[in-house]
Amino acid sequence: MTTTILPVPTVPGLGLEERNPGIPLDLGWVREVRVNRPAVERRAATLPARRSVKREWQAAWLLRAITAIDLTTLAGDDTPGNVRRLCAKARRPVRSDILEGLGAADLGITVAAVCVYHNLVSTAVEALAGSGIPVAAVSTGFPAGQIPHRLKLAEIEASVGAGAAEIDIVVSRARVLRGEWRDLYEEVREFRAACGPAHLKTILATGELGTLRNVGMASLVCMMAGADFIKTSTGKESVNATLPVGLVMARAIRDYHRQTGHAVGFKPAGGIRTAKSSLDWLILMKEELGDGWLRADRFRLGASGLLTDIERQLEHHLTGRYAAAHRHPMV
């Protein structure tokens, strides 16, 4: 079966008509969560094979994937200089000659956001001024979250004050592992309040939660607490975004939307490095949540090196040849 995602440009940033306000914690609903792991793994294994996107349709899907990327740098050697170069790439993620060859030069293709540590938020905000591309800041003691709660709240407030429009927080994994759902709910509610107008993405660090049922329950609690997005991973765990985890989280989003009418976004992150893997995640969204979750306001890809491979694939579509990676530098 061949399907297409037309490369219609989307307004960068989270543009949900109505943010998820959250609901009172419903422990009965949380404890009813069940996950059939073999069934989830079978379903996840079939997803990449269910839809085949080739030629110009594949190019269209890849352009859509670019508009969903949170272009990220979270390295210990980050400097203002390389963040400025990353922001320049965010503004023009694909070489002009490739876009012209694809007939997409006038579509206004940009990435969805640029994600950095707090100390580089102001640099990124300045570099992206006038572009409409928001800055996302990782927060609350990213990636481990092992700092006092008051410092987590202060870090969020400082990043928002510096101009971050999105905050990617890490939850306390110990609360999930001990089943302390009310404490997790209250923690995320306080993070949401500290964000103010900035949108909140809650990172579950799914590779450290032990079971898929824990992933499902944690997803539900974070949405009840008002998360605008739920996100798989920090990218720093030994296991990051996987399709079975994504399937569990997508179905939690679907159930929450059906029960409350509130739409929550999804962000896989960590280990997504190839154009093919970005297509797999888009297919998961289309199959499980529908076309409404194929836009940047409800779907993000947290990645650093992914854009290089997508740009190589687009050039291959035009020329029939794969370019060396250095022809598509990130910074």
pLDDT score recorded for residue 12? 41
How many of the other CB atoms lie within 10 Å of CB of 257? 17
Domain membership flag for residue 293: yes
- Return the pLDDT at 11: 37
Q: What is the mean pLDDT of residues 222-227?
A: 98
Question: Is 298 part of a structural domain of the chain?
Answer: yes
Q: Looking at the domain assignment, is residue 329 inside a domain?
A: no
At 330, list the tokens.
């990130």
Contact (Cβ atoms closer than 8 angstroms) between residue 172 and residue 222: no
Q: Which amino acid is at 211?
A: T
Give me 144's structure tokens. 């481990």
pLDDT of residue 55: 82
Residues 94 and 99: their CA atoms lie apart, in Å, by 7
Pair 306, 111: CB distance under 8 Å: no
In 3D space, the residue among 80, 71, 168 whose CA is nearest the CA of residue 119 turns out to be: 80
In the chain, % of residues over pLDDT 70: 93
Structure tokens at 286: 């289309």
Report d(CA 275, CA 79) in Å as an integer: 27
- Structure tokens, 329: 């530098």
Q: Is residue 231 part of a domain?
A: yes
Q: Are 167 and 198 in contact (CB under 8 A)?
A: yes
Whether this prediction's pTM lies above 0.85 is answered by: yes
Taking the C-alpha atoms of residue 40 and residue 56, their distance in angstroms, rounded to an integer, is 31
* pLDDT at 8 (0 to 100): 36
The encoded tokens of residue 15 equal: 């543009």
Domain enclosing residue 127, as ranges = 29-323
Domain assignment of residue 312, yes or no? yes
| CA-based nearest residue to 136, from 162, 110, 154 | 162
**3-state DSSP call for residue 178?**
coil
Residue-wise pLDDT tens digits, 124-142 = 999 999 999 999 999 999 9
In a domain, 212, yes or no: yes
pLDDT digits (tens, 9 = 90+) for 287-318: 999 999 999 999 999 998 899 999 999 999 99
Report the CATH number that the domain containing residue 113 is assigned in CATH. 3.20.20.70
Which residues does the annotation mark as catalytic? 168, 231, 267
Q: Which residue has the tokens 């905050």?
A: 167
Confidence of residue 17 (pLDDT cuts 50, 70, 90): low
Question: Is residue 147 assigned to a domain?
Answer: yes
Three-state secondary-structure class, residue 18: coil
Peptide bond into 329 cis (omega under 30): no
Domain assignment of residue 3, yes or no: no
Average pLDDT along the chain: 92
Q: How many domains does one find in the chain? A: 1
